[in-house]
Amino acid sequence: MPGGPISMKFAFASYGTRGDIEPSVCIAHELQRRGHQVRLAVPPDLVDFVEATDLATVPYGPRLQEFMREDLVRDLWTEIIHNPLGALRELWEPIATHWNTASTTLEELARGADVLSTGLNFEQAAANVAEHYNIPLVALHHFPMRPNAQLAPSLPGPLVRATGVASDWLMWRTTRDVENAQRHALNLPTANHRSTHRMAERRTLEIQAYDVNCFPGLATEWARFGDRRPFTGALTMELDTDEDAGVAAWIEAGQPPICFATGSIAVASPADTIRLFAAACEELGQRALICAGGTDFSGITLPSHVKVVGAVNYSTVFPKCRAVVHHGGAGTTAASLRAGIPTLILWSTADQPYWGNQVKRLGVGTARRACKTTARSLAADLGKLLSPDYASRAGEFASRMTTSTQSATHAADLFEGEVHR
């Protein structure tokens, strides 16, 4: 093309923990590498993390601790079982509370952009801003967010799908007034049905940022949407950290350990968590590597077979371990599946039980509610996963997954394609 490639402008809005925003950061990096202009909006807590990767970033929404009640997040599914309507309303209340502030940031972020991208939180507000500017919206979903029959394989498919539709409707009813207030401020007509319905009418691209093989049957179920719900594979940065070299040396000094990744949300009791992991590994004669995430384990006396570290590069650490135990976040699940080793998910909230369902369904691991886990049950689960059959199935499944580079390349191609659609 005369004059070289055309530089495009991409705006990314992503609110949540690191696992929520990393897909946006990953694609933004690839687009910037291709010579495009990118700008991100992320929670104030994560601005430094994104800026350290050399991307232009602005704060978006409140600090995470103001948005998420950690006790509700940890106990979400317990609350849903006892009071589903009340729990979902409480979960979505922060979205409605901070909707106007998010909209203001989105308007500034998207001004002059060729494409606006959004994560799950504040997706509806972003859709309205994209409609206001008449630019394409690209939604990034790190698990199957839209109604489908595959999330709970043990339940009848029509029931699972109907539950998804009901959840969509309840979200709309909870946020309808604040959404229409935003639409009126943007000189858009009053909305009379769900944002997800309107996004489908506008043929919004909804990138499924996970491997198609993780949810057997989903691609067939969604085939009627054509090219609007493409599967890219997990979008992860695989960043090296200062801990990696020391962790590698510790692993190589003994037998491969069992790795425990506790996630971004702090566990309720760090001392009890250490005791739980240490006791199960001691019973099995295994070493334990604990990746702390958002939990402060300092000041706790550690047994000789346990090592606690901070953030590590999962893509290099996990393959050196015998198995991985984690909370079931989408990014951590992708890393453990790509590593080709058995996975145990101890889930508590959000999409975590869905990923637990799938590792069991695929035969590459198992899952259990975190609050129901004991040293005895943990040792039993891990003892099962350390069998050659699980290792073989996990290795075979890993061979069929996309790499992080393939995923980022595919996603960036899709973004560029939306400019010309």
Helix runs in 318-403, H state only: 330-339, 352-362, 375-385, 388-398
Which tens digit of pLDDT belongs to each residue from 171-204? 888 899 999 999 999 999 999 999 999 999 999 9
Q: Are 186 and 321 found together in one domain?
A: no
Q: Are 46 and 96 found together in one domain?
A: yes
Q: Which residue carries 């990393």 as its tokens?
A: 22
| Band of pLDDT at residue 82, cut at 50, 70 and 90 | low
**pLDDT attached to residue 265:** 82
The residues facing 206 across adjacent strands are 139
**pLDDT attached to residue 5:** 66
Residue 341 in 3-state DSSP? Answer: coil
- The whole-model pTM stands at 0.93
Assign residue 328 a region: left if phi > 0, alpha if psi is -120 to 50, beta otherwise? left
Which tens digit of pLDDT belongs to each residue from 136-174? 999 999 999 999 999 989 999 999 999 899 888 888 888
The residues facing 13 across adjacent strands are 41, 118
- Domain region containing 329: 244-398
Q: Are 261 and 308 found together in one domain?
A: yes
In a domain, 4, yes or no: no
Does the pLDDT of residue 391 top 90, yes or no? yes
Contact call for residues 182 and 100 (beta carbons, < 8 A): yes
In a domain, 270, yes or no: yes
Q: Are 216 and 324 found together in one domain?
A: no
Q: Are 291 and 361 found together in one domain?
A: yes
Q: Are 270 and 358 found together in one domain?
A: yes
Does the pLDDT of residue 369 top 50, yes or no? yes
- Region 207-216: what's the mean pLDDT? 97
Q: Are 361 and 413 found together in one domain?
A: no
How far apart, in whole angstroms, are the C-alpha atoms of residue 285 and residue 257?
Answer: 10
Does the pLDDT of residue 267 top 90, yes or no? no
- DSSP notation for 136-161: -EEEEESS--S--S-S-TTS-HHHHH
Q: What is the CATH number of the domain that holds 171?
A: 3.40.50.2000
Instruction: Starting at the earlier edge strand, list the strands of the sheet with 343-347.
Output: 306-309, 288-291, 258-261, 323-326, 343-347, 365-369
How far apart, in whole angstroms, are the C-alpha atoms of residue 341 and residue 326?
Answer: 13
Burial 45-65 (b: 16+ CB within 10 A, else e): bbbebbeeeebebeebbbebe
Q: Are 15 and 63 found together in one domain?
A: yes
Q: Are 219 and 301 found together in one domain?
A: no
Number of domains in the chain: 2
In a domain, 171, yes or no: yes
The residues facing 366 across adjacent strands are 344
CA 106 to chain centre: 21
Q: Are 360 and 251 found together in one domain?
A: yes
- What phi, psi does 130 have (nearest 5°)? -60, -40
C-alpha radius of gyration, the chain, whole number = 21
